[in-house]
Each structure stands twice: as structure tokens, then as C-alpha cells.
Amino acid sequence: MGAWRIRAAWESDLVVLRDVERSAGYLFAEAGMDFVAEDEPPTVEELREFVECGRAWVGVDGENRSVGYLLAGVVDGNAHLEQVSVRPEHMRRGIGRALLERLIAWSRERELPAITLTTYVEVPWNGPYYERCGFRFLTAEEETPGLRRIRADEIARGLDRWPRACMRRDI
């Protein structure tokens, strides 16, 4: 596992999580997706809601500093991966995957049937990565009302400049 671990996010992590999100955006900028890289992270107040509901986890280094995080929601009776980000200098160490495994465990504890997410189809660390993690792309007919609302919001925000889709992993 290395010199890091996963724990529940704390109030004291909130400002740092915004910084983690901004730093992780560099990959999108390198891929010519500046609009995505420049997208404003969730506010401290929005992040606080996830922490207070027990739906935020962080990957921390040996000094207990947050180097990655995951936010979860529930959409149409399924767990929903809202966001996962890891600082660039800590990528490719399994932190994102460990955060995803924590979400899977959380989903099982609540007897939720699946995890859903929305993602970029062709970005290597998005759609193809989630496929390797056991997710599958949903057809338009398989999208639930909540997922359709999320996609409509993404379209309204201009995030569909690159192909996006919904994915699901059964638990």
C-alpha cells in the first residue's frame, strides 16, 4: 500500500481538497481540455456536506496530508461517484483505486446494488480506466432519471465538448 492510507475526510481537509482538485486538473490541460482543467472545484460548503454525511474519503500520506479524495452520493438508489482526484505527484500509486475500493465497501455496507458515474469516454484516465475497474458504459435507455439530470447539467455547463457518458458497476 505504500506510505499512504485511506480515511474519512475531516473538516480540516476541506480547503486542501480544493487544492488537490486544482492540481489534478493539469492532466486535462495537457490533453487540450483547458475548460475542464479550469472548472472550479466544489466550494468548501459543498465539500462540507459530503464530510458531514460520511460520503467523503481522502488518501493521506505518511504525515496525514490529503493527497487525493473521493466524493460519493446516492442517485436513484445507487451509489454515485461524484468526484475522485489525486495530486499529480501521487498519481499511479494506487490511491485512486483504493478510494474506489472504499466506495465499493461503503456501497456494500448500505446494500446499494451498483455504483454509477459520468465520465469522459475517450480520456485514458476516465472511461478506459473505469472499464478496467469493472464499470460498463450505459446506453441512453439504461440511464436513470437522476443520471439524465446529471448529464443535462453537464451539457449546460459545457462539459460535452468532448464525448461523455454514464457508467455503472454492479456490486
- Tens-digit pLDDT profile for residues 130-139: 999 999 999 9
Into how many domains does the chain fold? 1
Which pLDDT belongs to residue 97?
95
C-alpha distance across the termini of the chain, in Å: 23
What mean pLDDT comes out for the span 18-46?
A: 85
Per-residue pLDDT reduced to its tens digit, 49-69: 999 999 999 999 988 889 999
Calculated CA dihedral for residues 56, 159, 29, 8, nearest 10 degrees: 0
What is the pLDDT, as a whole number, of residue 2?
A: 55
CATH of the domain at 44: 3.40.630.30
Say if residue 73 is exposed, middle or buried (CB neighbours under 10 Å; 0-12, 13-18, 19+).
middle
Confidence of residue 1 (pLDDT cuts 50, 70, 90): very low
Tell me, what's the pLDDT at 65? 87
The parent domain of residue 43 ranges over 5-170
